[in-house]
Structure 1
């Protein structure tokens, strides 16, 4: 059950913001990121869950985030907080709900059903985090679980813990998982975001990781600090010459269609529908 159309929008830089930090929620309205994830899970201690939930619900309802995609990461539904998170957030108007540590289709379907119970309208999308070995092995089925599922998010920190792996330059311990998840997202026609870079002092490593993710086919990168936004935006932004080339491809393709042709020729190269789709993206 592949999604028939990909949800195409800029997601070069998607920044986690702790839901318990009111100042961070306000600052997010001024940052040059494409999206924000207001976090009720890992970034919030158990004794602060209720207060953070109330604070995030109020922030989302108040709006003011402009073009930024607003996503709320809830706690899993099998925790003491997950359903309360969903009940508080579903009607406030976020763009999506992010479910952590997804390992099966059933978890997506359970969340989808719960959204209906708590008044989440049909425009409210689902995002799923892939951050365990079971999640990686099931990712092809997870990605196809629901038309409401629009984005996969790599959770490389938890994956490292589960694998007993180390974070090393080049990310060799994670390449299989990363590539498998990109493949699943593309097969399902949904977007996928790369995991976070933890070392805030390692600017060169961040740039390299962003460039690697873009080369692998990720749509953008999740971030943990505003200082990382510029590197992600640069790596996942098409170069000016790529944009101009895409416009020329589309112009050639549109002209061919207007003439009743199924192919076009541009600079001696064949242009077909697949090339037009790539150019449009």
Structure 2
């Protein structure tokens, strides 16, 4: 089965930043989020689209964002701005281009052709907003459309609107859609970022949403305000106990292999290859989080 297998990296906190707000783009250089989505779509009024594009291009040319992952969310190809958004983002230095309302592989193929014609590096990936019923139904075709596809970002607010569903604390109306997308990303080696929590005064609800998303299997959460970064980082990071246990079973497994033993038991628990693979993922993620924190402190 084909799999994209993009390299894992911390995506605990992924903050939307309006491209029309030059001050916010500058402030992003000092924020402790793992990734920034510089937005040209929902957060930007029609008469500010071209100015926002120029400001994002200038901000990325200036640099200063350190190890953070940088994503540019473009307007759709069915808008007057979408094509040029993609052309500009392709050589902007951004790590990824986030496409709104992806509903099938045709969009991915169109964008890929534009990126390649514009000179996008091979490492630049395509992220997909999963925010419509048709997009959810076609998730597998989208996730497997191209090796450039690297991440699904849940647009849970738009999806709830289209489903005529209520915004409940437990998000029961969205569970089947969220789970379906998670199945696809894990099958094809992609990342998955949970949708935003809209009520900025609801700290308890935000924490609950993060914990729920983490437990479901999401890598992190999209955010709409810097004040939520610390809590998302805390909840989506591997715990100290989990990292310590992971290192313990990695060491035990490697020692057993060196001695030619086929069975490994650590603290009364059988350890197999799948446990070691997950342990190595957690340790690598913890190490990368440490690098991000060191970069921010520098």
Per the TM superposition, whether the score is higher than 0.5 is: yes
Q: CA deviation at 1:192?
A: 0.2
Alignment correspondent of 2:94 = 94
Alignment correspondent of 1:17 = 17
Q: CA deviation at 1:257?
A: 3.0
Q: CA deviation at 1:271?
A: 1.4
1:88-132 CA distances to partner (integer Å, 9 max, x unpaired)?
221121111001100101111111111101110101111111000
Aligned partners of 1:2 and 1:189 also within 8 Å: no
Aligned partners of 1:40 and 1:52 also within 8 Å: yes
Alignment correspondent of 1:275 = 275
Alignment correspondent of 1:137 = 137
Aligned partners of 1:247 and 1:279 also within 8 Å: yes
1:179-205 CA distances to partner (integer Å, 9 max, x unpaired)?
111111111111100000000000000
Alignment correspondent of 1:155 = 155
Alignment correspondent of 1:65 = 65
199-208 vs 6-15, which moves further? 6-15
Note if 1:180 corresponds to 2:190: no
TM-score (norm 2): 0.91
SS in 1 for 2:9: coil
Aligned positions, number: 281
Q: CA deviation at 1:160?
A: 1.4
Note if 1:218 corresponds to 2:223: no
Aligned partners of 2:2 and 2:188 also within 8 Å: yes
Aligned partners of 2:94 and 2:124 also within 8 Å: yes
Q: Which runs of 5+ in 1 are unaligned?
A: none
SS in 2 for 1:122: coil
Aligned partners of 1:15 and 1:35 also within 8 Å: yes
Q: CA deviation at 1:8?
A: 0.8
Alignment correspondent of 1:165 = 165
Aligned partners of 2:5 and 2:188 also within 8 Å: no
Q: Counterparts of 1:247 and 1:73 in 2: how far apart (Å)?
A: 37
Alignment correspondent of 1:79 = 79
Q: CA deviation at 1:277?
A: 1.1
Q: Which runs of 5+ in 2 are unaligned?
A: 282-298
Instruction: Provide the alpha-carbon RMSD of the alignment.
Output: 1.2
Note if 1:256 corresponds to 2:235: no
